[in-house]
Amino acid sequence: MATPNPRQQQSTLVVLVEDQPGVLTRVVSMMRRRSFNIDSITVGHSEQPGVSRITMVVSAPEDQVEQIAKQLYKVIEVLKVTDVTHVPTVSRELALIKVAAKPQYRSEIMQIAEIYEARIVDATPTSLLVEATGAESKIDALIAMLRGYGIREMVRSGQLAMARGSAVASVPETAGSNGRSRDQRILAAAANGASN
Amino acid sequence: MVSAPPSAATPATLPWSEREWPLDRHGFPVMTGAQIVTSSLEAEGVDTIFGYPGGAVIPLYDALPAANLHHVLVRFEQWAALAADGYARATGRVGVCMATSGPGATNLVTGLANAQLDSVPVVAITGQVNQSLIGKDGFQEVDIQGITLPVTKHNYLVNRVEDIAPTIKEAFWLARSGRPGPVLVDIPKNVFTTKGSFHYPETVSRRGYQPTITPNIRQIRAAAELIGQAERPLIMAGHGIMLANGTEEFAAFVRKSGIPIAFTLLGLGCFPEDDPLALGMMGMHGHREVNAALNACDLLINIGARFDDRATGRLDDFARNAKIIHVDIDPAEIGKNVHCDVPVVGDAREALELLLPLIQETDRSEWTSWIASQRNTVLQDALETTPAGPEPYTIIRGIAEATNGEAIVCTDVGQHQMWTAQYFGFNYPDRWLSSGGLGTMGYGLPAAIGAKMGRPELEVWTVVGDGGFQMSLNELATCMQEKLDLNIAVINNGYLGMVRQWQDLFHAKNYSEVDILAPDFVKLAEAYGATGIRVTTHEEIAPAIERARSIPGTVVIDFVIEPEMNVWPMVPPGGSNNEMMFSGPAGELD
């Protein structure tokens, strides 16, 4: 994972892929070979059997995001790429944070967790395990607050995203059944960009 | 001449459908996995395979003699992949190569990358270790699927015998459709020996793979509108025109529109170069008037090219006065390197068909005569002065004139490649075979073998340097075994010439590791049982070419040229196409 470059903006892509061996390697290998920066990537099942859903946060100049989408489409298993950066989206990340918790700080830590709607899911005489869910910025803020107590161990899931409203990123059972192939959709997008 | 080693009389082979097989309960023939591979290849219409046997593919090779396929035994797997590439370029069909697991498979990698960068349809079949050994570092095990991921259009590991036929069907479809490219199919040894029913699918489809063939008509109209408005339009013609089988439609478009053509290296041959509208090659070693036209044009119509850096030079100064139309079947090429005003995604042939009725016949004589005025007459005059020794210009022109420009010409990579591209004058599609994107030294001879196997009726020449030839000259044995009628022109300057030229021009003549010793190519040819001819004077060129043409076998001509001759003109690396150099620091004009 590359460190986000402040001059480049972050974009969130939802990538639907055929659930086949090696598909994640193909996607990540293409990104690496073309020097595209992945800030976070998550993969899991979607609502359709045989289709996995990748949420990928990339750091790239705006015009490169379209190129990333086009290159993703060249991976045979990739069914659909949706850029949800500029649409209202629910995006969430899960973090598990094991904090050093001396008895005198225990209640402070629990109060901080409460502010961020995080839960204490395990406790020992010397540590607390905090589970937090939320937007990436909220998790960042929570971690900043907990850092002073000593973070012993931490894992972040990477971002999951889904557009608000009734629109879906899913693929129709037969791609292109709406009369336009995905290339034509890209073309239309490119043409719109070019005519501006 | 030494004859090819005696081979056991080959029994007449029958196509798979005419052979007798046990049938399963549905009436489908039952075969081993290996027989399913050969039958699938037959069903695909394959006639020639370039390959090399080894442990994991022994079961596959066991099925070959009875199959209706001709296997060409190469001397190194890399040349099998490149021979398949040459076969594909010369025939327009999918080239097929085969290798064993481990080192056999890794040796294919360069050839696959070559096909990937030049969009050439190739299918590679590799053996893999037994499934029980996969992941255990078995003997000759290598993860060839992982290794070839970035250099293939797609690849497969086949785990079940029933998947072989559908996978091969899909591999050929992917290789030849859309933007063509190489596809690798890796099959474990025990799958070759497992029995299964053979049923070759008639159709194939993938949800995630639906290339756009027919362009959007609105984009075609927008392109036609720009063409109608342009005063100084220029076509940039690429390999895609030939890959789309669209040379006739392209010619109709050029003749109606009257727009002159700049060719990329691989676009040469898509339109007759002897036509006044064909300006010649653009880019780093392009002609001066072509690069001048690129700089002056107000509309650049790129058809089937990908704006490679060797063609464009420094991007911020490329076609800076022009609006750009880009016709490409791969949407990812649109806007990848060069901003585009009107993208046309689709097959070049269909795009040209749709464009033709929308454009006007226009008099462009003012524009074309301005371009002609930019021609570098000093260089041309110097080239046409009778030289003392053999010179590349006279050698390449000699081959072109002797063959009436009708031969298939392959090259290696380097100075001789640029000289051939500049001077041959290509008038026919699919007869100029050169490694463009990858720049693979050693390509020339295997590509010529592939081309001759695919187009035996055509005369085949390969022009190579003394460096590249030493990489693949072991394929002379393949030429002899296949009794190929090939002519090999070695442009021998005793140097790795193009690297030496860069060291000369940009590294203060610091000649580092470019002085390359070569064997006596005449004796070498004779050792293989081929014919060797040495040419050391200008007068010997034409007779040597004629003699080579008259000998029905493999001939090596060793053209000994002046060692430090440079390719002119040249855009310095990283420079703009407007910054062409016409001579070196000493002012010599070779």
How far away is chain A from the Cα of B211, in angstroms, using its nearest Cα?
7
Question: Strand order of the sheet with strand B261-263?
Answer: B278-281, B261-263, B233-237, B299-303, B323-328, B342-345
- Per-residue pLDDT reduced to its tens digit, B446-505: 999 999 999 999 999 999 999 999 999 999 999 999 999 999 999 999 999 999 999 999
Assembly ipTM: 0.90
Which tokens belong to B275? 């036509």
Contact criterion met (CB below 8 Å) for B390 and B535: yes
Note whether B154 contacts A: Cβ–Cβ < 8 A. yes
Choose among A166, A162, A108, A111: nearest CA to A135. Answer: A162
Residue A190 is predicted with a pLDDT of 47
Pairing of strands A151-156, A89-100: antiparallel
Contacts of B232 (CB under 8 A, 6+ apart): B293, B296, B297, B298, B299, B367
Beta-bridge partners for A11: A58
Contacts of B340 in chain A (CB under 8 A): 190, 194
Residue B309 is predicted with a pLDDT of 94
Q: Residue written as tokens 């659909």?
A: A80
Contact criterion met (CB below 8 Å) for B415 and B501: yes
Cα(B487)–Cα(B449) distance, rounded to whole angstroms? 11
Can you say whether residue B169 is alpha, beta or left, with left for phi > 0 and alpha for psi between -120 and 50 degrees? alpha
CA B63, B64, B66, B67 dihedral sign is: positive
Choose among A88, A72, A82: nearest CA to A12. Answer: A82
Please give the helix or strand (H or E) that residue B432 lies within, else none: strand B432-433
Choose among B125, B128, B155: nearest CA to B44. Answer: B125
Contacts of A22 in chain B (CB under 8 A): 145
Average per-residue pLDDT for chain B: 95
Size of interface A-B (CB pairs under 8 A): 80
Note whether B4 contacts A: Cβ–Cβ < 8 A. no
Residue B589 is predicted with a pLDDT of 45
Q: Which of B207, B216, B341 to mutate to test the interface with A (most CBs of A within 10 A)?
A: B207
Note whether B166 contacts A: Cβ–Cβ < 8 A. no
On the CB side of B539, how many CA atoms lie within 13 Å of its CA? 0
H helices of B57-121, in order, are: 58-63, 77-91, 103-107, 109-117
Cα(B285)–Cα(B49) distance, rounded to whole angstroms? 35
Contacts of B342 in chain A (CB under 8 A): 191, 194
| Identity of the amino acid at B409 | V
* Percent of the residues in chain B that have a pLDDT greater than 90, as a whole number: 93
Choose among B212, B440, B486: nearest CA to B347. Answer: B212
Task: Tell me the average pLDDT across B305-321.
Answer: 94
Contacts of B334 in chain A (CB under 8 A): 70, 187, 190
Catalytic, B469? Answer no
Cis peptide bond prior to B392, omega within 30° of 0: no
Catalytic, B128? Answer no
Note whether B131 contacts A: Cβ–Cβ < 8 A. no
Cα(B67)–Cα(B41) distance, rounded to whole angstroms? 9
Judged on CB neighbours under 10 Å (0-12, 13-18, 19+), B309 is: middle
Q: Which of A20, A76, A80 to mutate to test the interface with B (most CBs of B within 10 A)?
A: A76
Contacts of A184 in chain B (CB under 8 A): 212, 216, 345
- Per-residue pLDDT reduced to its tens digit, B178-220: 999 999 999 999 999 999 999 999 999 999 999 999 999 999 9
Per-residue pLDDT of chain A in tens (196 residues, 90 and over written 9): 445 555 678 999 999 999 998 999 999 999 999 999 999 999 999 999 999 999 999 999 988 999 999 999 999 999 999 999 999 999 999 999 999 999 999 999 999 999 999 999 999 999 999 999 999 999 999 999 999 999 999 999 999 999 998 888 877 654 443 334 444 444 444 444 433 3
Contact criterion met (CB below 8 Å) for B50 and B84: yes
Contacts of B126 (CB under 8 A, 6+ apart): B56, B57, B98, B99, B100, B101, B104, B105, B108, B144, B184, B185, B186, B187
DSSP state of B8: P
Catalytic, B139? Answer yes
How far away is chain A from the Cα of B332, in angstroms, using its nearest Cα?
5
Task: Tell me the average pLDDT across B253-280.
Answer: 97
Contacts of B485 (CB under 8 A, 6+ apart): B452, B459, B460, B552, B553, B554
Residue B234 has pLDDT above 90, yes or no: yes
Contact criterion met (CB below 8 Å) for B243 and B304: yes
On the CB side of B134, how many CA atoms lie within 13 Å of its CA? 20
Q: Considering only alpha carbons, which residue of chain A is nearest residue B149?
A: A26
Residue A180 is predicted with a pLDDT of 43
Cα(A63)–Cα(A60) distance, rounded to whole angstroms? 8
- Per-residue pLDDT reduced to its tens digit, A28-80: 999 999 999 999 999 999 999 999 999 999 999 988 999 999 999 999 999 99
How far away is chain B from the Cα of A62, in angstroms, using its nearest Cα?
13
Long-range contacts of B143-148 (CB under 8 A, 24+ apart): B144/B101, B144/B105, B144/B106, B144/B184, B144/B186, B145/A22, B145/B184, B145/B186, B146/A25, B147/B105, B147/B106, B147/B109, B148/B108, B148/B109, B148/B112, B148/B184
Cα(B124)–Cα(A169) distance, rounded to whole angstroms? 36
- Per-residue pLDDT reduced to its tens digit, B366-416: 999 999 999 988 888 888 888 878 999 999 999 999 999 999 999 999 999
The minimal CB distance from B212 to the residues A63, A174, A184 is found for A184
Contact criterion met (CB below 8 Å) for B59 and B425: no
Catalytically annotated residue among B139, B210, B401, B406: B139
Beta-bridge partners for B433: B410
CB atoms within 10 A of CB B343: 26
Residue A177 is predicted with a pLDDT of 36
Residue A194 is predicted with a pLDDT of 39
Q: Look at the pTM and tell me if it is higher than 0.90.
A: yes
Q: Considering only alpha carbons, which residue of chain A is nearest residue B206?
A: A76
Cα(B414)–Cα(B567) distance, rounded to whole angstroms? 9
Beta-bridge partners for A92: A160
Cα(B291)–Cα(B313) distance, rounded to whole angstroms? 10
Q: Considering only alpha carbons, which residue of chain A is nearest residue B207?
A: A175
CA A118, A120, A121, A126 dihedral sign is: positive
What three-state secondary structure class fits B262? strand
How far away is chain A from the Cα of B94, in angstroms, using its nearest Cα?
19
Contacts of B584 (CB under 8 A, 6+ apart): B504, B505, B566
What three-state secondary structure class fits B291? helix
How far away is chain A from the Cα of B424, in angstroms, using its nearest Cα?
36
Burial B25-51 (b: 16+ CB within 10 A, else e): eeeebebbbbbbbbbbbbbbebebbbb
Task: Tell me the average pLDDT across B303-318.
Answer: 95
Which tokens belong to B457? 């009726």
Choose among A80, A95, A94, A82: nearest CA to A48. Answer: A80
Angle separating helix axes B415-423 and B392-402, nearest 10 degrees: 50
Contact criterion met (CB below 8 Å) for A186 and A70: yes
Contact criterion met (CB below 8 Å) for B224 and B250: no
Task: Say if the Cβ atoms of B335 and A190 lie within 8 Å.
Answer: yes
Contact criterion met (CB below 8 Å) for B449 and B440: no
- Per-residue pLDDT reduced to its tens digit, B118-172: 999 999 999 999 999 999 999 999 999 999 999 999 999 999 999 999 999 999 9
Q: Residue written as tokens 């007068």?
A: B539
Cα(B490)–Cα(B445) distance, rounded to whole angstroms? 11
Residue A1 is predicted with a pLDDT of 47
Torsion angle (degrees, nearest 10) of CA B428, B432, B433, B434:
-150
Catalytic, B498? Answer yes
Contact criterion met (CB below 8 Å) for A71 and A34: yes
